[in-house]
Structures are given as C-alpha cells and as structure tokens.
Amino acid sequence: MAEYRTFTTDDAMRFADEHSGLFGDHSKLSCEEFGDGNLNLVFRVSNDKGTSLIVKQALPYARCVGESWPLTIDRARIEAEVLLKHRKLCPDHTVEVLHYDAEQAAILMEDLKDYRILRTELISGKQFAHLAPQLASYLAQTLYFTSDFALTGPNKKQQVGRFLNPELCLITEDLFFTDPYCNHERNNIHTAINSDAQQLWHDEALQAEVAQLKADFLSKPQALLHGDVHSGSIFINDENCKLIDAEFGFYGPIGFDVGSLVGNLLLNYLGHFGLTADDDTRQQHQDYLQQQISLLWQQFSQQFKQLMETECREPSLQNSRYQQHFLQQIFADALGYAGCELIRRTVGLAHVADLDSISDSDLRAKSERKALQLGRELIIQRRELSNIDQVLTLLRHLK
C-alpha cells in the first residue's frame, strides 16, 4: 500500500488478507471497527469459518479528543516492536503480532476473542487465581531481560534510543504528574469531590514527591516498559491472561509498570465500595484483590531476585547488597506510581469505569475520596513502607 490513509473496513480486510495467509481468495470476509480506546482504530476481520484477526491502525491524532490533538503514528512501530520483544521474553502472556506496516501505521495481530477485558471482569466481580502469578511472571521476565542486568552497555543504549517515544511519554508526563496537581482544563472532576481535588493543587508536600517520581520517569531508563499496564490493557480468560496495547512503551523505571498494575487493582478494590451493595460479596471480592496484590509483589520480587542472582551478565551488578537495594527501590517506586495512578484516574483526563460506573453520586464520591487519600499516602510514605502487608493495612484503614 502507498501513502498513509485512514483505513476503511475494506482496507482493513485487504490488509489482513494480504499479510496473514490465513484467509485465502475464496474466503468471505467481514469486518467491523470496534475500537473504544483513547487513540486508535481497531478492526476485527473474520472469515466464514470463524477465523478472525485484529487490525489496529494508529490515527494521526488522539481519537478521544480529535484532530486538535495531533499524535505521531510512529507509536504503531513502538507498539509492534515492544510486543514482539516482550513476546520473545514471555510468549504466554503477550499478544502475538503477525505483521507491522510502517507506512500505514497498522498492526495485524491475533484476535483474543476467547478472552475478556480484565477491567470489565473485575468490575463485575469475577476472580481469577492465575491473575497475579501470570502478571508477576510477565513483569519479571520482560523487565529483567531488557535491563542492564541482562544487556551489554552498548546494546542497552541502542535499545533505549529505539524506544524514546517522546510524544507518548509526554502524554504520561502531563496526565500522570502535572494535570492533577493544578487547575488544568484537561482535568475531569466529579463535582461532588471538587474541594478534595482542589486540595491537590495546594499540597506542596505531595507535589514535591510527585516531582521526584516525574523526574525518575524522565530519567531512569531501567528497562523496556509496556508503559500502560492498566486493566484495560490486559485480556483474560479462565486459564490465561495476555497484555496488549504497548504503544506507551519506552525505557523507564521498572516500578512504573509494576505500580500501574497495582494502582489498577486498588482502583477496582475502592470502586467496589460503590459497585457492590451486599457487604459479604464486596468483602469477598476485596479480600481476593488484597491477596492478588500481595501475591503479585511477592512473586514478581522473588523472580526478579532469582534472575539477578543467576542470570546477571555484568560483574559489578552481581553484588548482592546492590541487588537487594535495587529491589527495595523498585518497591518504593511502584508504590509511588500506584499512588499517581489512583489520583490521575480520579481527577485527570482519563478515568476508569471502576469509579465512573458507580451510579450513586455519593457512593462514587466516597470511593473517589478514598482513591485520593490512598494515592497521597502511597506517594508520601513509599520509602517508609517496607513490605506489601503494610500497604494492605493502609488500604484497610482508609476512612
């Protein structure tokens, strides 16, 4: 195909047919565009035998805002390359990319039609025992093997250069670390919590800690992050889960990916105060989430520790005291970024259904206040909290 143009359903079918070898001339193809995310077009192309594939095309602007927010289509390259790399490192939990076309900024990938979006499942109260173990494994494998522990200095630097992703990083820099802490026009604040949101704009102690987290996000290229590990980027079924949507990928602080995920599990926990009326059912789901958060950190840190001890190529990084300190630092960073996620999803541009779908305005405000309170505590106390149980205690004692 020639110059970039926005795909119609016909274009998407042709693209899928040309690059898959799965369909063939005689197949009767059908196609629907069903993207409901913030940025891209997403097509499902199916044949009459039930085989289907996904075509994802980057638009030259952010879909959720429109053409007034131009955005590089090079994000499709970042997404394809991060997913290909992560899939090599963790094939079970990364979606398969079949083809990437730079000109059309389009990716052909497997259709996870037997999977559901994790966020929707958690909102409806579904529980999966394999969630934390599988995601811990995805995070440990992808983050360890793209870090300085596993790569040579020159190779690592080359990789950092390939994944600079300045435009998408700028979105995160603004939405996570700037907008919620000032009266920004992009913010989206539920009227009932206006005064709580305004406190963030004058909270100097909090702003100083957020500045540190932002500075680390800008200048700590520890590993090739997925960059957007929220529960809408995870597909799950009764056996497995897979990560999609890696367009925010870049070399950044390991705690950012871990913390984004923890933040999203916490948002679901807090959302259920307003989503589930029956006390026992709610408590049972919240206990499940606590257990998953605990398992996630335990298993991620154990695996990362073991990889540092057994696989580290760089002699000076084999020092065990350094390795212990490194893990403790990831923990503190993860808590800080989880706190930022709680706050920005409550008052910033991009909300989550875990809070927004609470129909009763007072209950929604209660959950939102808890999210702001917990977010603040995690950010401020992140270096003093020395284990995950202390975090869960903080969670249980929210007013």
Annotated binding site for ATP: 40, 56, 110-112, 245-247
Give me the half-sphere count of Cα atoms (radius 13 Å) on the Cβ side of residue 33: 12
Helix (H, G, I), strand (E, B) or coil at 158: helix
**Binds Mg ion by CB under 5 A, chosen from 245, 257, 354, 377:** 245
Segment lying near ligand SR1 (by CB under 6 A), choices 131-139, 171-179, 211-219, 387-395: 171-179
| Contacts with Mg ion, 201-240, as mask; x by CB under 5 A | ----------------------------------------
The partner in contact with residue 175, picked from ligand SR1, Mg ion, none with C-beta cut-offs of 5 to 8 angstroms by kind, is ligand SR1
C-beta separation of 98 from 109 below 8 A: yes
Identify the DSSP state of 89.
H
Q: Find how far residue 335's CA is from the centre of its chain.
A: 15
Q: Is residue 350 near ligand SR1 by the rule CB under 6 A?
A: yes
For ligand SR1, the closer CB: 75 or 77? 75
In angstroms, what is the minimal distance from the CB of 59 to Mg ion? 13
Q: How many residues bind Mg ion (CB under 5 A)?
A: 2
Binding to ligand SR1, residues 255-294 (CB under 6 A): none
Q: Is residue 341 near Mg ion by the rule CB under 5 A?
A: no
Question: What is the Cα–Cα distance from 201 to 350, expressed in whole angstroms?
Answer: 18
Residues 6+ apart with CB under 8 A from 34: 42, 43, 44
Give me the half-sphere count of Cα atoms (radius 13 Å) on the Cβ side of residue 1: 21
Residue appearing with tokens 């030259």: 60
The partner in contact with residue 350, picked from Mg ion, ligand SR1, none with C-beta cut-offs of 5 to 8 angstroms by kind, is ligand SR1
Segment lying near ligand SR1 (by CB under 6 A), choices 53-61, 103-111, 168-176, 269-277: 168-176
Q: Is residue 196 near ligand SR1 by the rule CB under 6 A?
A: no
Question: What is the Cα–Cα distance from 331 to 389, expressed in whole angstroms?
Answer: 12
In angstroms, what is the minimal distance from the CB of 71 to ligand SR1? 8
**Binds ligand SR1 by CB under 6 A, chosen from 53, 78, 140, 171:** 171
Binding to Mg ion, residues 24-63 (CB under 5 A): 37
Q: Is residue 62 near ligand SR1 by the rule CB under 6 A?
A: yes
Q: Is residue 228 near ligand SR1 by the rule CB under 6 A?
A: yes
Question: What is the Cα–Cα distance from 202 to 192, expressed in whole angstroms?
Answer: 19
Q: Is residue 178 near ligand SR1 by the rule CB under 6 A?
A: no
Q: Is residue 79 near Mg ion by the rule CB under 5 A?
A: no
Q: What angle do CA 365, 349, 4 make, to 5 degrees?
A: 150
> What's the chain's length in residues?
399
C-beta separation of 61 from 67 below 8 A: yes
C-beta separation of 303 from 346 below 8 A: no
How far CA 304 is from CA of 295, 300, 316, in Å, comes to: 14, 6, 17
- Which residues here bind ligand SR1, judged by CB under 6 A? 38-39, 62, 64, 171-172, 175, 228, 230, 350
- Which residues here bind Mg ion, judged by CB under 5 A? 37, 245
